[in-house]
Structure formats: structure tokens, C-alpha cells
Amino acid sequence: MAQFNAGILGATGAVGQKFIRLLQNHPWFEIKALGASGRSAGKPYSEAANWIESTPMPDSVKDLEVRNCISSEFKDIDFVFSGLDSSVATEIEADFAKAGIPVISNAKNYRTDPTVPLLIPEVNPDHIEMINKQRFTADGSGWIVTNPNCVAIPLTMSLKPLYDAFGIHSVVVTSLQAISGAGYPGVPSLDILGNVIPFIGGEESKIREEPLKLLGKLENGAVVHASFPVQATATRVPVINGHLLTVNVKLEKTPADISEISKAMKSWTSPISELGLPSAPKFPLHIFEDERYPQPRLHADSEEGMQTAIGRVRSGDVMDVSYIAMAHNTIRGAAGGAILNAELLAEKGFLR
Amino acid sequence: MAQFNAGILGATGAVGQKFIRLLQNHPWFEIKALGASGRSAGKPYSEAANWIESTPMPDSVKDLEVRNCISSEFKDIDFVFSGLDSSVATEIEADFAKAGIPVISNAKNYRTDPTVPLLIPEVNPDHIEMINKQRFTADGSGWIVTNPNCVAIPLTMSLKPLYDAFGIHSVVVTSLQAISGAGYPGVPSLDILGNVIPFIGGEESKIREEPLKLLGKLENGAVVHASFPVQATATRVPVINGHLLTVNVKLEKTPADISEISKAMKSWTSPISELGLPSAPKFPLHIFEDERYPQPRLHADSEEGMQTAIGRVRSGDVMDVSYIAMAHNTIRGAAGGAILNAELLAEKGFLR
Amino acid sequence: MAQFNAGILGATGAVGQKFIRLLQNHPWFEIKALGASGRSAGKPYSEAANWIESTPMPDSVKDLEVRNCISSEFKDIDFVFSGLDSSVATEIEADFAKAGIPVISNAKNYRTDPTVPLLIPEVNPDHIEMINKQRFTADGSGWIVTNPNCVAIPLTMSLKPLYDAFGIHSVVVTSLQAISGAGYPGVPSLDILGNVIPFIGGEESKIREEPLKLLGKLENGAVVHASFPVQATATRVPVINGHLLTVNVKLEKTPADISEISKAMKSWTSPISELGLPSAPKFPLHIFEDERYPQPRLHADSEEGMQTAIGRVRSGDVMDVSYIAMAHNTIRGAAGGAILNAELLAEKGFLR
Amino acid sequence: MAQFNAGILGATGAVGQKFIRLLQNHPWFEIKALGASGRSAGKPYSEAANWIESTPMPDSVKDLEVRNCISSEFKDIDFVFSGLDSSVATEIEADFAKAGIPVISNAKNYRTDPTVPLLIPEVNPDHIEMINKQRFTADGSGWIVTNPNCVAIPLTMSLKPLYDAFGIHSVVVTSLQAISGAGYPGVPSLDILGNVIPFIGGEESKIREEPLKLLGKLENGAVVHASFPVQATATRVPVINGHLLTVNVKLEKTPADISEISKAMKSWTSPISELGLPSAPKFPLHIFEDERYPQPRLHADSEEGMQTAIGRVRSGDVMDVSYIAMAHNTIRGAAGGAILNAELLAEKGFLR
């Protein structure tokens, strides 16, 4: 696989820093450019960023001069990862796409755009064909691909085997979300220490809507969304990393026995498992038998933070099945997911 | 109201200590006897107990000599509160009832007994008539009354107005439970600090079953249970006090507008509000409008820990309504609930 | 005692809110005016403030229109409490003093001013005479009194009996400080959850210097500072309320036996104990015998948060004595301390 | 380097589990035998142990049958690591040594024995010669080596450069210790969540004494202890891993400038740096310039948990220098330290 020169937009923020940490020593992608706000532009990255990752800032980025997030300053770059804040992502990402620089974005802005893939490689890799409908450039060289919300990812990963095997009638879900999901400085400690906050602004609509696009069928290059209602409650808990979900699902076809549901989850195989993508977890889904698991502090880092862990699969009296799902919200649920998206796109020849 | 001499069984445990703290300065009940295991019996309470409450041990109990939990040692006592462990409560509580000493119990052992009231004074005060069917003594002087599980209490408190106004078809609930619910030493800090444990042994069956008895109708002195399925997931979170529930309810009769549901909750009035029971909260239910509330650390102590707080009442696509419910698990959900039960029974003449 | 009309400067901040909560139902002082920045001025307080106290906002302040922090808008007020940020306190507090409106301040700005009392009523009540040297107004009607830093208070409270009995040669202290000391939003949860931050900007110099002024002797209306070195390390820990200090003291006169040190602490009596000040704790110092105590979560609220708790008094090989000191940092260490200062000043006739 | 067959005593406990995790894939040592109490003996390890490490139990130990901790059952083993509880370590470790099986122990029992090395390879590697004075066996084939207390290790690591360069007059230290130091189940969550416990039983005497043996001089095969007083206060804080110390040191020879102290720490080099021991950190001491560091949650895992981090080196008015020291308490401070000890002993030919 050829080497690509990658840029990072929003490089000084929490997501940007996670991109930098995860791309350290990446076999395909090399960070060549870092973009941030005008306040940081012109400074060496080591000076512009308030580094919050626990591992040290990689030497390879310390001296990179931070650029403005303008496409004309990134002409030497093959594609960019975007960790931009949603308040600025709409315009900046379009600017890059129009300039022929592909954007692999973690921002929410284009997730609902009918020509933009909302992508989890293990769930809907075929959706990347939507790119061909994008019209940012005449020759198709500039485009945008997005990854889902950090709760939508483990939710959809866990629903996928059930959707394929039984169909889904409806979902009731509660999320217990880690503080890292709010970025930095994010949640004030006085709000969350020894406490639960039963509300996260804007989160529940994403949990309701994104799984439907992700599980949708591609027809003539466009996605026909799946159609089932999701009722969601999003809460914040004093956990560093790892969003945990309690999920209840009513299926279209109720299996005779709950064990068939576990079996469907365990026997599910990722459609990209043969591609050898560097960041793809060996086991994208892990089903725990121990009813105490998964737990965010113990299991969020499994498979380099790219695994979705499932536990407590059991039948219910209201809906067919209840279970726990959990994944690392800033790796699988954000920067790591975007990197895996880029790897799939590179492998499929969309990055050139 | 006359003064009653009260005893406490399991007085050295976490629930027993909470009884002692809450009964300090109680206008009707005076602690005259403390019972614990043989290991503690004979010692002054100040020596037998590893006091874990944050307020100091009341002087009034320091020098009480701990007794064995045998009815013959409690002949000077009008009634007992039981904070006994379930491993011993079945026999000891029966021993006291047979000796004509009423037992107001927080233990789970007799909750499902068809002649034993499972009591929340604001929900089913009429159930106390079940006592008349108990046959521990020929003259009815000895009996047992229980209070529900610490999740079942706020769940049922919040369901009651909906049950009365609309009927309940089904419930899907997730609990985020405080560590104090596991007693002392209880949850190891290495398990819960910065973590969530998605399983609490034995909890979910109580959440499914107890609301049905509590909302049941008394017919000929026996309870005909309510009949609707409850699907429950119980989790532990790093919070000191206050169990928070995310509740989703499908109603029998869907109201035209979600505001009717809020209205039903807000206009609901407690059937015991006129009785002047010392521990009865002025507002047993409080409905927050601020979507960030209730939060356990901020609101568990409201109305001396006896209030159930509701928030985020909103409609859903799968079930009619979603909301948050929260109450102090060791006060409203345990010792405080039992004391309110005793007050109702005293007021109704069952304590003599 | 006559009733005084009090104002609060910085009323929307964390300290200002604490003033409001603590003054609710105060027998002497009534809140009549609330001052905040121009952004809040003109709005009703209920709208201007993001209320973070756990008890509800008192009805008495909800409709007060927030004023600008300008003395001309406070002419109807007898005196003001200042919870102003240090970035603006110097000018605003002087403005009020010059206008003849006494300022009881929690800000640090005037603490080191040689004419301004740095006051702990139980330690140096005589220092209030320094007010007579202030020249904000010709007739002495306007003046400033300050209370110490939240670590300096429990440190000095604990040193006072030792200073009086043995003299102090030197002090080595480490503070473990609660997050509420940083205000709101204050410490990001990502920084402190499951962590310790071994640095608090600007804190250690206050810990070194303020005890020397507090323990100083008044001579001709001016304070001759005590003279001993203090070596301090300030750390932040994930605790809500209550700064805990590990203190090591070398005395001028080493007592023959460590028990004399405990005795000096226990037999110490507050010089203001007979005055009946409403916020004065009955026991300003409490000495625990149980070596596990004091603990911030259990004991910060003792005596309405106004007590300093001491524990583990024991001899050492390097310095004569080591012990633990702990007090509620936002009550005793901030707003509550300022209110006690105002009570002493009212009692002594300085408020008119 | 030859391969050695290693056993682990106390293999089901928290320290034993850490040994197993750290020895996974060790280039020199292979775990061939696991010893635990009679309750576990005879069971496969996967069944006997309640695995609490966050990474999965290595397959290589799952099927090992747990043995009794009796030397006759370990005849196939070259040496053992001991994670035994101190209540049983005295007899069991002696039994193994007498049987000619070397014991590398983390237990405290033999730390003060004048013939047993208390060893930190970077501090006192020459002390291993003390082994020759041990008389467990006639031929010297059986012996015991211990590693220090988890606070004594970072304290002594940080004192070593100062001791060598300036001499040490006295030390005043406060430790903020992680909950993992208390083992499992260890500290109840109700005691430590949002709290500080200012006492850890038995800890302070180890902090006072062990550095003196570690910094002692070997004369005629015996250690002449260093001689300076240490005044210690040990506290527990809600941190998972990483003991943080605030250290104040008075030196024998005060340098002209504080920068000489930093320089002494930075220029210090480990005497074993050339040996290529697999678990030896590349930089045993790391000196942070950023005054916010080190922090346990960010830096305890540095260099696989084997580094001691120093920060905030600054001069003081009472003692010459204050600084922060921090190290991972269950790796550097326990199992990892013992493994490094074994590596040094293997390299020096004591394991055969």
C-alpha cells in the first residue's frame, strides 16, 4: 500500500490530538500538515496545542507549523482528517472537497447529507459508492466521508447481526457516556464527580437517526434508510473513556430461543475482515459470557480501543432481547473510526 | 400521638445505622433496644458498631447494650424495625411476629408473601389491611410489614399517577444505582472508581415484580397484582447516594398530548398528605422542568431524602413516554421508607 | 441586634451563590442588593445566575434586579460582601469603601494591605482595630476587611494553640484541596477524575504568608507579623468540598511529651465564644482520636461547615509534631468565614 | 540468557495476578507453577482465580493446576516470586529457601532481616552480595531477596541522586496513595469515592525505615544503614494506580543554587543501565519541567510502569528542596520491581 500524506483539521482539539496519537507509526498515512484556528496558525504545534493525551506528543509533529484551515494551504496533502468543531466544519470541509482534497470527517455536519457516506467499514462498506454522486469537483477528486456519533457506532455494530438475521422492529436504549465524549475542558468536575447528568444536548436525535442510515440499503448509489423507531435516553457518568449502552430490541421475527440471538451475534463476521486494514480489530464484536462485563474501565481499550463489547444477552418480557454494548468513544467512536474509514477508502482506491 | 418503644434488628449494619440516624429526635418512636449478631451481643453499641454515617453516633444509643436478635430479649419493646440481612431475616422476623412483636422490615424475605403488605404509604396505604390475614399470633398482635426494593420505590412512585390515569401496558427501565445500595464494605473501590458495572445480582427480578404487587388492588383482604411486563437492566455507577432510573412506559390509553402525562404527574396527590406523618415529604413527587435534572448528588437529599424526583418527561416513538426518576436509595428506598410505614401503621392504630 | 441591609458583589459567581445560600434566614443580615458584571445587570437574579448550589435558589433573591458593581447603585445598603474575582476587586472594593460602604471581602486583593485586617474571628479579633487606620473616607465610615485563603484558615486555626503555648519555629505543609475551591466551571473533569494535580497556581505563597499576618501582634494599630518559615505544597484531589492538610510543625519550645500538644489544642478556647455570633461554631476546633479521621466527605459539613477538624496528632523525628487539619473550603474557608467576620464587626459596632 | 522456570506464590491474589500479567512473554522467565492456599490447590488457575487485571488471563496459565505453597511441590522450579500475604509469608518463604529454591519476594516479612537484601537494582545493586551470608541451605542455593514498600521505592529513587551529591539531613514526606495499593477487594468504595483517608495502617514506619537500608553501605557483606530521620504522613486518595509523594528534603550540604539539585537528578545515571535487563526502564527517573506534572492518571504507565517521575523541583524556606515524586505502585512498586530484581540476580549468576 502506497504512503499517503495526511493533514489534520482541528489539530489542536481533543479529537485532533487523538488523530495524532493514533496515526503515530501508521503504516500507510503520514501526518504532513496540521490545521487549526487563526489563533494557532503560524506557531509550531508544540506551542499551539495544550496536549492532553497521556502519551507524550510525538516528536514528528512538534515542529510542524500549524496552518490555517484553508484548502490553499494544504496543496501538498493527499487527504485530510477533520476533527473540526461543528460550528465551522460545514464551510471548511466543503472548501477542501471543492479543492479536490478528500475529507474524512468526524464532524456531524455532513452525516445526514444524502450524497455523503456515513460509514462504519464493518457495517456498510458498500456505502462508499455514494461518493460518486458527490459534486464538489467535476472530476470527483474531492469528497467527504463521515463517521457516526460515538453512541451510534456501538449501537449499530450490535444491531447489525440482529438486523440481518431477524429484522428490527424497535429499539429502546439508554447510554451511560464517558466524560471524554465532551472534549476538553468539557464537563466541569463539579457537575460530574460522584454524580450522573441525565441529559446530553443533541445526542438523542443522533442515536435515533444515524443507525437507520448506517443499516440502509444502497440503491442506485443512494441509501434507502432502514425504518424502525429508536427511543433513546443519553446520560453522562463519571467514567473517562467508554460509552456503555443498555439496549432493548424488539425483532421483526422472534427467534424460538434467545440462544439464537447470541449465536447470530457470535457468528457474525465482518465483511472487511479479509482486507487487512491496519486499524481493523480482529474481532469487531466480542460477546462476554461473564454477566459483570463489559465494563468501560476494563474493556474500552480492547483491540486498541476498536472493539465493540457486548454482554448480558438475555430475553425480555417487553422486547425480545436486552443486552449491554460498550465501545471506546474517542477511538472506535471518533478518531479511530475515521482512520479505519480512511484505510477502507485507500484500499478501495478512493485515495490517490 | 403516643410514644412507642422501638427496637432495631441488624442494628450494626448499614441499614441499621441509617435507622438510628433517622430516628434521632423522632417525635413518636424512641429507640430502646438494638439487636445484632451473637458477635456483638453484650457489648455497648458504641463498641459493637463500626459507625459509617457522616453525622456522629447519637449519644442515646452509645451505651445501649446490644442484644441477640431473639424475641425473648425484646419483651419491653412495642415493635421492631428490621435491617436484617436476608440470610437470617426469614426466621428471626417470624420469631418476633410469633411473639407478638410487630416487625417493620426492610429485608426482602417476606415481600412476596401473600399475607404481608409490601407498602409505600403514598401508593397503597390500604394494603395494610392484609395484616389482618396474618396468623403469626392468635390475637393478631404480631405481624410483618415490608417496604420495597430501593429501585422499585421510585419506579412505582413515578408509575402510580400514570397507572391511575392511563393504565400501563409495559415498562422498559434502566437503573443507575449508587454504591450505598450495596451496604458496607459493599462495592470494592477498584471495581467502581471511574467505571460502570452493568449487573447487580438479584436486582432485576425485584424491579419487575414489586411494582405489580404495589399497584395491585385489594380484594377481600388479598392483593390482586397489577399485570404488565417490566424489562429491567440494573447497573452500578460511582455515585454515593441516589438511584437514577431511565424509564420508558407504554400506556394502555395513549393521551392525545404528552402534556397530559406531565399534568397527571404534577396533579397527583398523595392519599396520606392529610395525616401529618412526621417523615412524609410535603411533595412526594417533584417534577423538574430543567432537562439537566434530577441529579443524584444535587437532589437525593431533597425533603430529607424522602422525595422522588422526576425529570425530562417527554414522548417517544417506541413507547408513549420517557422520563428520569430518582430517589435516595437508603432513605426513601430503605430505612426512611420503613419509618414512614411505621408512622402510617401507628396512625392507623396497628401499633399499640 | 439590629437588622442590616447587605449587598453581595459578584453575586452570580460560585462564592456569591454561597453567600446567598448561607445568608438565607440570617437573623441579622438581609440581602437587599446583588451586584454582578454589566452582562447580568438589569436582569432578575433568577435569570442572570446559573445556580449551582444543591439547595434551590431562595425565593427572596429570585426577583432582585442585578445591579452594576458601582457604589452609586448601592446607596440603600449598609455594607457589602465581596465575592468578586481578583481581576476586578481592587478598584470596585475601593470604590465602595470610598463611598462609605464597608466591604467584607473574600477576594485576595487587600489581604496584604497593612491597614486592612486579614481576619479570623477566633484567631485575631483584635485586628479589627486596624480599620481605624484606613483612609478611604474622612469619617472612617468606609473600610475593607478580608478573610484569608481557604487553606490558610484551617492551617492558622490549627497553629494558633501551638503558637500561643509553644511558639512556632517552622512549618511544612501539604494541602489536598477540593475541586470546589476552583469555582465553576473550574477544574475540568478530564483533569481530576481518578487523578491528583500536584500544583495550584498562586496558592502556595498565600499559605506561606497569610498565617504570619493572622498570628501577628497588633502594635499601635498595625500588625507586626509573626516570623516563621512555611514550606507548602498545594495539590488538587477529586473531592467536592473540604481541604485536607498534612501539617508538620517544629516548635520554639519542645514540650516534654506529645500529649501536651494535644492538650494545648483541646484546651484552647475561642476568644469570641461568649459573643453569641450566629455563625460561630460551638467548637471551632475538633480533635479526633480515631486515626482514620478527619475525612473531607464525612466531616466538612460539621457545625454547618464552620468547624476545623484535627486528627492524628503525633510526634515526629524531624519536626516536633505532625497532624491532619481539614475544613470546608467554601464555607469556613470563604463565604462562611466572611459572614462570621461581618457578625463580629456588627457586634463590635463597626457596622452602623 | 538461559530460560528459567519460575513459580508464583500467592498466585490468585492481586500481586500474583500482576506477576502473571507482567511475565507474559518475558524473554527469560517462564511461569511453570502457581501456588495458592489450600482452598485453590488442585483447581485449574482459571477456576481458582477471580481475575481482576484488565487484560485477559494469559492462555498459558489458565490450565495450570494450582499447587499448595509447599516447597516439595515446586521441585521442578528454578525460583519463585512471592506475592504472599504477610500473614503467611514468613514460614512459607523460609520453607522454599531451605529447600534450595530462591525466593524473590514482594512481601514485607524479610525486608528488615540483616542478611536479606532489600533491593532496588538502580539504587543498591551491590547489596545482592548479602545473599552469601544467608544460611537457609548449606550450599547457598536457597535464599530470599525482597523489594521495598511501594512508597519507599519512588521516595528512595528520588533521594538517591541527592544522597550521593549532597548527603541527606532529614526528610518530610506526604504520600497520596492509589487504591490499588490495598489489594482486592481492598478499600470499600463508600470510604474513598470523593474522599481522602488520612491514614494507612503500618505504612509510615516502612516509609521511615526502608530508605535507610536501601541507601546503606555494604561493609563486609552487611549493610550499614543510612542515618537520617524521615517524617511521613500516608493518605489514600481516589486514584486507581500511582502513588504520588510530596517530598521536602534538608540536605547535608546545601548547594549554592536550586538548579544544582535539578542537575543532580537529571544527570544521575542508573548503575545497571548497561546490563540490558528486559524490565529496566530506559530512564528510571524522569524530571518534568511542566509544573502540573507528574500526575498519576497520566504518567503512572510511563515506561511500562517502571519509571519514577519527578516534578516541581524547587527550593524551600524550611528545608532545602521540595518536589513531587510518583511511580506506579503495583508495577514499579511491587511485581515489576520484583521482576527487575530477578533479572539482576539472573544476570549476576545467582539463578542457576
Query: pLDDT tens-digit profile of D307-344?
Result: 999 999 999 999 999 999 999 999 999 999 999 999 99
As a whole number of Å, the end-to-end CA separation of chain C is: 11
10 Å Cβ neighbour count for B113?
13
Minimal Cα–Cα distance from C181 to chain A, Å? 10
- Chain A: which residues have CB within 8 Å of chain C? 52, 179-180, 184-194, 238, 240
- Catalytic, out of B127, B243, B286, B328: B243
Most D CBs within 10 A among B190, B191, B241, B297, hence the mutation to make, goes to B190
Q: What phi and psi, each to the nearest 5 degrees, are found at residue C79?
A: -165, 165
Asked if pLDDT for residue A2 goes beyond 80, the answer is: no
The secondary structure element, H or E, covering residue A205 is helix A203-214
Residues of C in contact with D172 (CB under 8 A): 172, 248, 316, 318-319
Of all residues in chain D, the one with the smallest CA distance to A302 is D55
* pLDDT value of residue C352: 77
Q: In which band, very low, low, confident or very high, does the pLDDT at A147 lie, cut at 50, 70 and 90?
A: very high
Spans in chain D with pLDDT lower than 70:
1-2
Taking CA atoms, what residue in B is nearest to C295?
B54
Whether the CB-CB separation of B73 and B7 falls below 8 Å is answered with no
pLDDT digits (tens, 9 = 90+) for A276-311: 999 999 999 999 999 999 999 999 999 999 999 999
Q: Do D299 and A193 touch (CB under 8 A)?
A: no
Residue C322 to residue C311: CA distance in whole angstroms: 9
Q: Do D54 and A301 touch (CB under 8 A)?
A: yes
Interface test with B, best of A318, A319, A326 (most B CBs within 10 A): A318
Active site residues of A: 150, 243
Interface of D with A (CB under 8 A): 54, 193-194, 240, 297-299, 301
| pLDDT given at position A316 | 97
Q: Shortest CA distance to B35 belongs to which of B45, B26, B24, B50?
A: B45
Tell me if residue B243 is catalytic: yes
**Which of B69, B127, B150, B286 does the annotation list as catalytic?**
B150
Residues A86-135 have pLDDT tens digits of: 999 999 999 999 999 999 999 999 999 999 999 999 999 999 999 999 99
**Average pLDDT score over chain C:** 96
What percent of chain A shows pLDDT beyond 70?
Answer: 99
Compute the count of residue pairs across chains A and B with CB atoms less than 8 Å apart.
130
Mean pLDDT computed over every residue of chain A = 96
In a structure prediction context, what are the per-residue pLDDT tens digits for chain B, which is 352 residues long? 559 999 999 999 999 999 999 999 999 999 999 999 999 999 999 999 999 888 889 999 999 999 999 999 999 999 999 999 999 999 999 999 999 999 999 999 999 999 999 999 999 999 999 999 999 999 989 999 999 999 999 999 999 999 999 999 999 999 999 999 999 999 999 999 999 999 999 999 999 999 999 999 999 989 999 999 999 999 999 999 999 999 999 999 999 899 999 999 999 999 999 999 999 999 999 999 999 999 999 999 999 999 999 999 999 999 999 999 999 999 999 999 999 999 999 999 999 7
Per-residue pLDDT, C291: 96
What's the pTM? 0.96
Give the integer Cα–Cα distance in Å for A156 and A325.
10
% of chain B at pLDDT higher than 90: 96
Sheet holding D103-105, edge to edge: D67-68, D29-36, D4-9, D79-82, D103-105, D144-146
pLDDT of D264 reads 97
Using an 8 Å CB-CB cutoff, list chain C residues near B283: none
Q: Which chain B residue is nearest to residue D239, measuring alpha carbons?
A: B193
Question: What pLDDT score does A117 carry?
Answer: 98
Per-residue model confidence (pLDDT) at position C54: 82
Are D171 and C318 inside 8 Å of each other by CB?
yes
Which of D194, D240, D298 lies closest to A194 in CB terms? D194
Backbone angles phi, psi at B160, to 5 degrees: -55, -50
What's the pLDDT at A103? 98
Residue of C nearest to B292 (CA): C52
Q: Are C104 and C345 in contact (CB under 8 A)?
A: yes
Q: For residue A52, what pLDDT band results from cuts at 50, 70 and 90? A: confident
Q: Among all residues of chain D, which has the CA nearest to that of A189?
A: D194
Residue C6: name the closest of C18, C21, C23 by CA: C23
Element (H, E) at A244: strand A243-251
Alpha-carbon gap, residue C31 to C335, rounded angstroms: 14
User: For residue C183, which of C150, C155, C208 has the smallest C-alpha distance?
Assistant: C150
- What is the DSSP secondary-structure string of D133-180? G--SSTTS---EEE---TTHHHHHHHHHHHHHHH-EEEEEEEEEE-GG
- The pLDDT of residue A1 is 56
Q: What share of chain C is helix, strand, coil (3-state, %, to 5)?
A: 30, 25, 45
Check residue C2 and give its pLDDT.
58
Residues of D with Cβ-Cβ distance to C289 under 8 angstroms: none
Which residue does chain D place closest to C208, by CA atoms?
D317
Of C52, C189, C238, the CB nearest to A187: C189
Residues in B touching C194 (Cβ below 8 Å): 193-194
Which member of C243, C286, C299, C328 is catalytic?
C243
Encode pLDDT of D181-224 as tens digits: 999 999 999 999 999 999 999 999 999 999 999 999 999 989 99
D17 neighbors D49 (Cβ within 8 angstroms): yes
Query: Which one of D194, D240, D298 has the shortest CB-CB distance to A54?
Result: D298
A52 compared with A200, residue with greater pLDDT:
A200
Contact residues on chain D for A240, CB-CB shorter than 8 A: 297
What is the spatial distance between Cα B193 and Cα B207, in angstroms, rounded to a whole number? 25
B191 neighbourhood in chain D, CB within 8 Å: 185, 189
DSSP 8-state class, residue B24:
T
Domains and CATH numbers, chain D: 4-149+335-347 (3.40.50.720), 152-328 (3.30.360.10)
Chains that touch B (3 or more CB pairs under 8 A): A, C, D
User: Which entry of C26, C69, C127, C150 is annotated as an active-site residue?
Assistant: C150
Residues of C in contact with A195 (CB under 8 A): none
Query: 3-class DSSP state for residue B119?
Result: coil
Distance CA C149, CA C155 (A): 10
Contact flag B293-A198 (C-beta cutoff 8 Å): yes
Order of strands across the sheet that contains B230-236: B230-236, B168-177, B243-251, B321-327, B308-315, B285-287
**Nearest partner of C120 among C274, C306, C266, judged by Cα:** C306
Cβ of D185 within 8 Å of Cβ of B190? The answer is yes
